[in-house]
Every structure is written in structure tokens, then in C-alpha cells.
A = this chain, B = another copy of it.
């Protein structure tokens, strides 16, 4: 058996505790699979004294986490501090300067600084790995980088935020409304006190930008990801979708297309979708994540599992460590960073598809005529429409599913209706994912 791989752990929160527990519990098995032991030598966190419910006194303590990579007793730094910038980014940079490898669960940092960090890791000929940054314990980064490496990937999409999926599937099961389920999820610890990153799709957008970079060989580019969350989804939308044969899921979707000038462009969007009940993502419930990749030879592949939590995230972190112990220092984004394509964001106007549109309108004569006239004038063809009456004077819900058509037509219809006194609030559009 070779020399141990020596780990420094920065950040001793939930995931850090999980990594410590995993490395201790499965030490023998890890050593056999990795070909050598993986041992934590040093830890660092903001507060040394904090009671964490697990023992860290057996490891060396480093007050200044940014210098962890410079220690002679460290081969790999595991960054579990979080945040796109700040100490996490400083630590990543010093780690590569010291010629050490970095494993991180930090999706925000990779989404914002992935190209810079991969450049530094490649220059230092060390590994930068971030399996835990996307979809928790699911080995989807490995799946894309290696499992489907022979394929041109047409599309990668999935359920990338467990909190949103928990809320949507609980709304589905119980008929309760968003705010109510969110409050319960917060009380149970499934949702953060400030749930903005999850609920508004930012967390999913971080993960999507990482997935699309690996799938398409493009430089990771978070800024253009259009993200809409689930705040405006009503229990009534879920009931309506169900009646039509769909489940509502927050889907991150990325694909490439070629524009009129022959340049490849990158489409990336996080948006609530109606998912056809025969699509495998329709049955992904609770805090589970799932990613679909469509390759030109492999067809449609699905990876599904726990998207968060200390155990699954630790599983992904230690899988990266085992790869490093085995000698794998492959390019962080599958191909060398200098060869990544800097594809411009795609226009969405010419995209086509089916959509669900829901209006909350005043209950007065002529409302339906005004809405349907706008659809007609914009060239939106309606497949089905349901108007549901509210109680006296309460707004009425009009929901429709369109035929396949350009998204630009829907935008135009909504523009025609914009400011109309019949609308009690802006309409909600959700895209439809077929079988």
C-alpha cells in the first residue's frame, strides 16, 4: 500500500462533519478502493471552540484557512466554506499556487470563477474536482465527463434543487399553497431561513452552468442563465397541471444551437416546467435531484439521487478524493480550459415549444375575449383552456396550454395584455416538457 493521501478540511459545518464521519467509518474500504489510505491531517474553520457534535481535536488545527495548501502535511485541500468569493476563493487560489489539489462542493465559486480556477489547476498540473457542487451525491459530473465522453451531448437538464422539489411535490401531495409549505420546510430545516438562492432558482442556475460547461465543452458562464423560481406557482396550477397529465417541476435546461451566422450558442434556463407524466423527471419526488443527458449515441440517460445532505455530499467529496488518490488529475471541465468554447448566449425568441399560461383576472364580462384576442393577434394557438370561477368578486383563474409554437409569440401576447385592467397580476408562463 502506498503513502496516505493527506487531506486538509476547510469548513466544519454539516458537510464537513459528514466528510469526517465518512472517512472514519469507511476508512478500510476507501483504502482498498483508492489503493492507499485517505487521512485528514488538518482542519480549519472560523471558530475553533464551537461545539459541532463531532470530534476534531485529533487533527491539526490551522487558524488561517487560506494557507492550508501551503502546509507540508497536506496533499489535497477540501473546501467546504461556501460563497462565490471571500475565503473560499482565496483558499482555492493559494492552494493551486502551492501546487496542491482542490476538492470543493462550492457551486457558486465554480459557476463564477470556474475558468480562472481550472486555468490555475491545469497550470499547476493538479486536480480541481467539484462532484459535490452539482446534485449532491449523484455522480453526474463524472457521468458527463467520463461516462458519456464518447457522445456529443444535445441537451442536459434536470431537477437541480432539492428544496424546490420538496416544496413542489409536497404542494402536489397535500394541495397546500407555496408559502405554507415553505414555512414548514424552513421549520424542518429543509429550507434555509433566507431561501432566496433556492426558491428563486439561483442555486439551480449555478449547477446548470457547471453541467452545461462539461456537457458542451463551453467555458462556464453563469451570468446569462435566465432563472425563474417557484414563488408564483399556486396549488391551483398544480391541480390544473395534474388534470392535464403533468407535474410541475423546477427544471434547469441547457442546450446548444447554431445561429444564422453558423456560430454555436448556448441556451441555459432555469424555469418551472410542466413535465409530462410519462417523462422520468415527473416522478422525482421530495428533496431528490435528477439529471438527464441526451447524447448522440447513448440516447437519454438519467441520474437520480439525493441532491443535498451531509451524507450524499460527503460521498461525492470523497469520491473525488479517491480519484485523486488513484492518480486522476484530468482537466476540471473534461477538456483543457484553453480549448473551451466561449459560446455566446442563445436568443430565446425563436425557441419553440408548448407552454402553460395562467392568468388571474377580474371576474367581469369580456375578460376571456380580451385574453383570447391577444393570443390570436400574437399568433398563439391554444390547445386547451380552462376558466375556474372564484368566490364573489375574487379573481378568476384562466389557464391554458398552447400548441407547439414560438416562445416569441407568447411574449408578444403578454405584451399586448400588459397593463390591461383585467389582469389581477402578471400572467405566469411555464414551459412544457413532453415525454
The interface of chain A, by Cβ under 8 A from chain B, is 18, 22, 25-26, 29-30, 32-34, 137-139, 142-143, 145-152, 217, 278, 280, 283-285, 290, 295-306, 309, 311-312, 314-319, 321-323, 326-328, 330, 334-335, 339
Pair B335/A311 contact, Cβ less than 8 Å: no
Looking at the complex, which one of B145, B280, B305, B334 makes contact with A298 (CB distance below 8 Å)? Answer: B305
Main secondary structure of the interface of A (DSSP, over half): mixed
Indicate if the CB atoms of B335 and A314 lie closer than 8 Å.
Answer: no
Can you list 10 pairs linking A and B with CB atoms under 8 Å apart?
Answer: A29-B152, A29-B217, A33-B145, A146-B322, A147-B319, A150-B319, A151-B315, A290-B302, A297-B311, A301-B304
Report which residue of A142, A278, A280 has the largest number of chain B beta carbons within 10 angstroms of its beta carbon: A280
Shortest A434–chain B CB gap in Å is 15
Query: Nearest chain-B residue to A340 (Cβ)?
Result: B32
- Is A319 a contact of B146 with CB atoms below 8 Å? yes
| Nearest B residue (CB) for A140 | B147
Chain B residues, Cβ within 8 Å of A334: 33
In the complex, A26 Cα to B306 Cα: how many Å? 33
CA distance A112 to B79 in the complex (A): 44
* Complex contacts, A295 vs chain B, CB 8 Å: 137, 315
On chain B, the residues within 8 Å of A137 by CB distance are 148, 295, 297-299, 301
Bound CA–CA A29/B147 (angstroms): 14
Min CB–CB distance A217 → chain B (angstroms): 7
12 extra A-B contacts, CB within 8 A, seeds A139-B148, A290-B302? A33-B145, A33-B334, A137-B297, A143-B143, A146-B319, A148-B315, A150-B321, A280-B283, A280-B304, A298-B306, A298-B311, A299-B306
Top 9 nearest A-B pairs (CB, nearest first) are A139-B147, A150-B318, A298-B315, A137-B298, A301-B305, A302-B304, A297-B311, A297-B315, A299-B306
Return the contact of A143 from the options B26, B29, B147, B318 (Cβ within 8 A): B147
- Nearest opposing residue in chain B for A302, CB measure: B304
Asked whether B146 lies within 8 Å of A301 as measured between CB atoms, the reply is no
Query: Do B305 and A300 touch across chains, with their CB atoms under 8 A apart?
Result: yes
Question: Whole-angstrom distance from the CB of A54 to the nearest CB of chain B?
Answer: 15
> Complex formed: what's the CA distance from A138 to B280 in Å?
15
Nearest CB of B to A241, in Å? 18
Chain B residue at minimal CB-CB distance from A25: B296
CB-CB nearest in chain B for A38: B150
In the bound complex, residues from chain B placing their C-beta under 8 Å from that of A339 are 32
Q: In the complex, what distance in Å separates the CA atom of A299 from the CA atom of B321? A: 19
